[in-house]
Amino acid sequence: MIQKSEFGLDELDSSRHIQYHAIGACTTLLPPAAPYLAVMAQKYQISQGFVSTTMMGAEKCSCMIDRSMICTCMQDARALFLVTKSAVQHRQLLKSLSNSPSPQPAFNMSSSSSTLSLYCLNKNYSSWSLRAWLAMQVLKIDFKTVMLTVGTPEVPDLGLPACQKYLSRAGPTAKVPALHVPTPSGETHIVFESLAILEYLAEDYPELWPSDRFERAYARSLASEMATSFGAVRNYAMNIRQRYPFDPELYTEDVKKGLLRLSSIWEELRTKASAKEGDQGYLFGGFTALDAMYAPLMFRIRSYDLLSKVEGKHARAYVEHMLNNEQMKEWEEQSSHEKEIIPSDELYPLTK
């Protein structure tokens, strides 16, 4: 059985339709199934106006159906393409054709009983928490932020046994962010690591990655690079409330090399995106997971007076644009109310 996740999903602005694109091997099932559409529509009393198919050569097939229907491609002896009016009919048909258990309905992230919980550390310091939170805010996902605050008498600093136990509330790695996803069965699934959370969200919000296949692959490559590289730059601890003058002693060759690499990426992508229609100022035009991955660097660049070290007018404009992002400013405003200090995240001694 071909799952929904094997299809790309495009939202059509002016209609209540879903468009599935089947590419490559998947199309070998869809064209033979097309003649069954009319039969199924008549058998299950589905208006022909709700169902249409368009064959686009040997490489693509497009099928548009109303949101109230379910579109499933079954790979059995008849390679039927089934369209039904309701989930009940859908399950009955699957059972009769494949003798397999009925699939569980998709989990509705917008349901009031399915509120997601995102576990975060102090907003002034937690760069990893910012990434997931920012993406969810931009996407306007309904979720609850659960703050785990370090720098208190009970949990004075990171790395202490008391802190490890405290952060284990977030998940098995005792790290943040961690996304707690309640399921219809009453269980809670925990998604941890920022990039994994972004990928999880992208399954329901495909706009979180570029629509073009090669741009999407490039964005994922760069996001992975950000997650695993630029250690010298990340040694400037994110500390939103602080404003330090540029310190040449801290500006090592590794820091310089890292900022040059970041500058070249931002300059390249913004140069291309700025020429596109509908450009919104982000790396691929609209906001993507890659912008979320780079977001903490913007606060670091500002806090340690490093903007002059970012090369390229498009790259520098991108930093300013991100700092003026509505959700970034909201995170900053919320962080300004925090009074706790995490000593290990203060780059300089507090007396300097």
Residues 51-99 pLDDT 10s: 333 333 333 333 333 333 333 333 333 333 333 334 444 445 444 544 4
Taking alpha carbons only, the member of 127, 338, 107 closest to residue 231 is 127
Give pLDDT, residue 114: 67
- Residue-wise pLDDT for 264-292, tens only, equals 999 999 999 999 999 999 999 999 999 99
pTM of the entire predicted model: 0.70
State the SS3 of 176-211.
CCEEEEECCCCCEEEEECHHHHHHHHHCCCHHHCCC
Taking 50 as the threshold, does the pLDDT of residue 232 lie above it? yes
Of 101 and 297, the structure prediction assigns the larger pLDDT to 297
Query: 316: helix, coil or strand?
Result: helix
Tell me the domains of the chain and their CATH numbers. Answer: 4-98 (no CATH), 112-203 (3.40.30.10), 206-335 (1.20.1050.10)
> Per residue in 175-195, pLDDT tens?
999 999 999 999 999 999 999
Please tell me the predicted confidence (pLDDT) of residue 40. Answer: 47
pLDDT over threshold 80, residue 338 = yes
Q: State the DSSP H helix or E strand holding residue 144, giving kind and residue range, or none if neither.
A: strand 143-148
Nearest to 126 by CA among 165, 177, 195, 193: 177
The predicted model gives 235-239 an average pLDDT of 95
